[in-house]
Amino acid sequence: MSRSDRTDRRGEATGGTRRWLLLVAPAALIGALLAWMLAASDPVQPEAPVRALADLAGAAVLGLAALPRLHDRVETSWRTLTVVAGCWVAMEFAMLVLEATEVLGVSTGELAAGQFADYLVEVSGGQIGIAILLGSGAVAAYSAFGFRLPDRATPDLVLVFAAVTLALRPITGHMSQQLFGSVLGAIHALAASAWLGLLLALALVVRTRGEWAVLLPRYSAWALPLAAVVAATGIIDGLVRIGGVTPLITTGYGRILLAKTVFLAALLGLGWWWRTRWVPIARDHRMNAESSLRRAVLETVAMAVVFGLAATLAVTA
């Protein structure tokens, strides 16, 4: 370990910058709240904030599992993966409960076990929710196994199960009624999750200047095509869904879509700025780990707001 890396580790122990990652969840909720306000009189399902947190947790799991793909010397952080996957399971279960109450027209306190079971078995939304819950549960269980026996576990299995689970909801969502809508929706969701998830994983795991110097440029090389895919599929899906330009102003769905597009454009601009300023300096070991972490936290929090908008958009009529 170099002297600069030892210095970075000491700074990391006292800096506390990583704690600012806790703002990611409130940022997603702010995005959901903003979308709710933009929807105005158009109906928005009450599970939108929980959907935002579930999507955020799923993206984090995907990013943590994919992180070793950036460099073969990166070790999987099984402890972090287990905790985040557990949060994902909790959010997906909460989603199931809220969806059941919405469909059955009862409050959470009034939902009986028999009613909930009937929803899971007889309603397609419940069946999809069970599949998603089982997928996230399998990821959490395997991550716990990896934490106990890291030499016998591989993050590739987590990566595959997380990707399939994240794709289930967009495949069966409102875009599934359109030509190639399911495929575009799944690609959009997976690209967005990887874009955010990998950066969040870097912020959670990377500790030293040397690690940032190696991993950040590799993430940047992945981020560019991922961002392009997110932008292209999002625009296509949105325009097909609303059927024109005028509904961008006259409908709640259109206003949320417009806000999401504006925020996404800002993120693309920030990404370009980081690519030309932050990445070269970090690659040349001219930026300490604390400074790189601050930039990663800033961008991750900004991306979480867009996730909140997107989650609400998905449950807006």
Encode pLDDT of 156-182 as tens digits: 999 999 999 999 988 876 555 665 668
Nearest CA among 291, 156, 273 for reference residue 213? 291
The rounded distance, in Å, linking the Cα atoms of 267 and 241 is 23
**What is the pTM for the complete model shown?**
0.91
Encode pLDDT of 99-113 as tens digits: 999 888 888 888 999
Encode pLDDT of 248-268 as tens digits: 888 888 899 999 999 999 999
Reported as half-sphere exposure (CB side, CA atoms, 13 A), residue 140 has a value of 18
Torsion over CA of 190, 162, 293 and 195, rounded to 10 degrees? -10
Helices 48-66, 78-104: axis angle to 10 degrees equals: 150
pLDDT the model gives residue 261: 92
Nearest CA among 180, 203, 208 for reference residue 60? 203
Distances (CA, A) of 7 to 192, 207, 277: 34, 11, 23
| Domains of the chain as residue ranges with CATH | 3-9+18-314 (1.20.1630)
